[in-house]
């Protein structure tokens, strides 16, 4: 059913919400669109915040998804600096933080995720930073520079990207990771070891298997990170990158199905047919893995924005996608396709020492996931093979002299 004249209210003006608004207009939606964001800025790209933007290679204009005038020109009522406090589903009303209420025909929840805070003493000191928003990135940029000491708590992708950018800006960087290896939750051991080596070559110091028990400071500003073994890592600023949690309280409070995120179907529709949820906040089905989960990535935000916009405007749903993501550190481009679910074998193609290799995660003779370092063919072909479920020859896949175009069994 198409509802081209319906009033669509989008809560959250990040990558998902901003894209949904633009897609709705592109797909011919004629009804009013309200886009409510809690930040002062119009929708912008977050990935560069830890990479090109932090290093000063990208400006605010280039971060913006669309120029500010785009929203008025396309009759999108963009309202910054506002949060939704309550959903009244029976009346199809949203209560906003300025005391006003907004009526909707269709609601899109694009409220994203927030950084997890460490529940330790000293966590409220100035100089303790996180990296989700442009404002966070501004604070971080001001805190790093030649001679400054930056502690990074958490050796995940955000932590490592910040470490690389911090080194590029001349800061001394110590990465503190609770696990014995980097990227422990998301990458295989070969990749963890490789990244550690690269960062060490660039002068990053690692404290592995180290638990943070608190922060110490002077005059309200952080001066060090306390570790469980009693040592203190001195710093001028610390970035905490230990994961994120979905902003799904609004949905849970009004009785929508949630499960570490708002539960949606293949159209991004929640358990209320008038409400969609997209992006970091959504717990969504992923047919190629026959399960549901929550993803924090731009490609996921874009895909679900398309799903919701298609359903609302009566277009066929987009063809199922293979999830993917990327990371840039120093001169390395990491491209990841798929997730390593239900795998029974890890296969290496190429030599990590060459700075160019790929790790394939297999289930039988099918590829479930690929992590490619400076190896676009492995990423591109791997992504296609994950999607079409074709069987591959392991002998060919591990043989660099065989082109990726010829690895199908």
In 3D space, the residue among 24, 16, 22, 39 whose CA is nearest the CA of residue 279 turns out to be 16
Q: Output the smallest distance, CB 381 to another protein, in A.
A: 6
Question: Is 48 a binder of another protein (CB under 8 A)?
Answer: yes
Question: Is 70 a binder of another protein (CB under 8 A)?
Answer: yes
Q: Output the smallest distance, CB 110 to another protein, in A.
A: 17
CA atoms lying within 13 Å on the CB side of residue 51 = 16
Per-residue x/- mask for another protein, residues 291 to 310, rule CB under 8 A?
-------xx--x--------
Stretch that binds another protein, among 78-86, 152-160, 340-348, 372-380 (CB under 8 A): 372-380
CA atoms lying within 13 Å on the CB side of residue 271 = 12
Question: Is 62 a binder of another protein (CB under 8 A)?
Answer: yes
Question: Is 394 a binder of another protein (CB under 8 A)?
Answer: no
Q: Output the smallest distance, CB 61 to another protein, in A.
A: 9
DSSP code, position 15: H
**The binder of another protein chosen from 6, 16, 18, 25 (CB under 8 A):** 25
Question: Closest CB to another protein among 212 and 298?
Answer: 298
Helix (H, G, I), strand (E, B) or coil at 369: strand
**The binder of another protein chosen from 7, 55, 74, 396 (CB under 8 A):** 74
- Residues 76-105 touching another protein, rule: CB under 8 A, are none
What does the alpha-carbon distance between residue 282 and residue 34 come to, in Å, rounded to a whole number? 20
**The binder of another protein chosen from 120, 332, 380, 402 (CB under 8 A):** 380
Q: Binding residues for another protein, how many (CB under 8 A)? A: 30
Stretch that binds another protein, among 43-51, 107-115, 146-154, 259-267 (CB under 8 A): 43-51
Q: Which tokens go with 221?
A: 């500003």
- Residues 5-24 touching another protein, rule: CB under 8 A, are 22
Q: Which tokens go with 263?
A: 């539960």
Phi, psi (degrees; rounded to nearest 5) at 193: -65, -40
Helix (H) / strand (E) containing 22: helix 15-26
**The binder of another protein chosen from 5, 121, 234, 376 (CB under 8 A):** 376
Angle at the Cα of 245 from the Cα atoms of 244 and 246, rounded to 5 degrees: 125
What does the alpha-carbon distance between residue 352 and residue 355 come to, in Å, rounded to a whole number? 5
Question: Is 56 a binder of another protein (CB under 8 A)?
Answer: no
Question: Is 285 a binder of another protein (CB under 8 A)?
Answer: no
Phi, psi (degrees; rounded to nearest 5) at 127: 90, -5
**The binder of another protein chosen from 26, 97, 354, 391 (CB under 8 A):** 26
Stretch that binds another protein, among 3-11, 33-41, 57-65, 198-206 (CB under 8 A): 57-65
Question: Closest CB to another protein among 60 and 259?
Answer: 60
Cα 269 to Cα 24, 43, 107, 147, 334, distances in angstroms: 15, 22, 10, 50, 32
What does the alpha-carbon distance between residue 62 and residue 44 come to, in Å, rounded to a whole number? 9
Phi, psi (degrees; rounded to nearest 5) at 312: -70, -35
- Residue pair 19/283 in contact (Cβ under 8 Å)? The answer is no
- Residue pair 286/292 in contact (Cβ under 8 Å)? The answer is yes
Question: Closest CB to another protein among 69 and 344?
Answer: 69
**The binder of another protein chosen from 236, 280, 321, 371 (CB under 8 A):** 321
What does the alpha-carbon distance between residue 36 and residue 84 come to, in Å, rounded to a whole number? 8
Residues at the site binding another protein, with contacts judged by CB under 8 A: 22, 25-26, 45, 47-48, 62, 64-67, 70, 74, 298-299, 302, 319, 321, 324, 326, 328, 333, 335, 376-377, 380-381, 384, 404-405
């Amino acid at each position: 059913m198409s509802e081209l004249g319906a009033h669509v209210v989008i809560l959250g003006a990040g990558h998902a919400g901003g894209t949904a608004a633009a897609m709705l207009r592109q797909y011919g939606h004629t009804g009013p669109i309200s886009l409510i964001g809690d930040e002062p800025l119009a929708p912008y790209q977050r990935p560069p915040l830890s990479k090109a933007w932090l290093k000063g290679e990208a400006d605010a204009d280039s971060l913006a998804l669309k120029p500010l005038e785009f929203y008025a020109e396309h009759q999108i009522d963009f309202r910054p600096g506002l949060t939704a406090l309550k959903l009244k589903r029976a009346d199809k009303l949203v209560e906003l933080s300025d005391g006003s209420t907004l009526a909707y025909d269709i609601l899109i929840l694009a409220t994203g995720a927030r950084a997890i805070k460490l529940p330790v003493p000293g966590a409220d000191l100035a100089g303790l930073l996180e990296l989700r928003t442009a404002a966070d990135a501004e604070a971080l940029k001001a805190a790093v520079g030649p001679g400054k000491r930056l502690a990074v708590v958490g050796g995940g992708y955000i932590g490592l990207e910040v470490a690389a950018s911090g080194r590029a800006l001349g800061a001394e960087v110590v990465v503190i990771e609770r696990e014995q290896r980097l990227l422990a939750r998301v990458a295989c051991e070969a990749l963890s070891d490789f990244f550690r080596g690269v960062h060490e070559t660039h002068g990053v110091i690692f404290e592995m298997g180290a638990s943070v028990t608190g922060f110490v400071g002077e005059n309200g500003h952080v001066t060090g990170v306390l570790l469980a073994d009693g040592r203190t890592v001195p710093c001028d600023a610390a970035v905490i990158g230990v994961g994120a949690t979905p902003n799904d309280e609004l949905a849970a409070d009004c009785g929508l199905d949630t499960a570490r995120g708002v539960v949606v179907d293949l159209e991004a529709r929640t358990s209320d047919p008038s409400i969609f949820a997209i992006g970091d906040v959504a717990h969504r089905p992923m047919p190629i893995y026959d399960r549901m989960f929550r993803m924090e990535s731009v490609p996921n935000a874009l895909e679900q924005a398309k799903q919701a916009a298609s359903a609302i405007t009566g277009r066929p749903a987009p063809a199922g996608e293979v999830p993917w993501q990327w990371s840039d550190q120093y001169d390395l481009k990491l491209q990841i396709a798929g997730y390593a679910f239900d795998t029974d074998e890890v296969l290496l193609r190429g030599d990590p020492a060459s700075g160019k290799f790929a790790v394939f995660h297999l289930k039988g003779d099918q590829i479930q996931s690929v992590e490619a370092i400076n190896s676009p063919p492995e990423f591109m072909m791997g992504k296609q093979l994950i999607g079409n479920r074709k069987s591959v020859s392991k002998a060919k896949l591990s043989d660099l002299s065989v082109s990726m175009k010829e690895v199908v069994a």
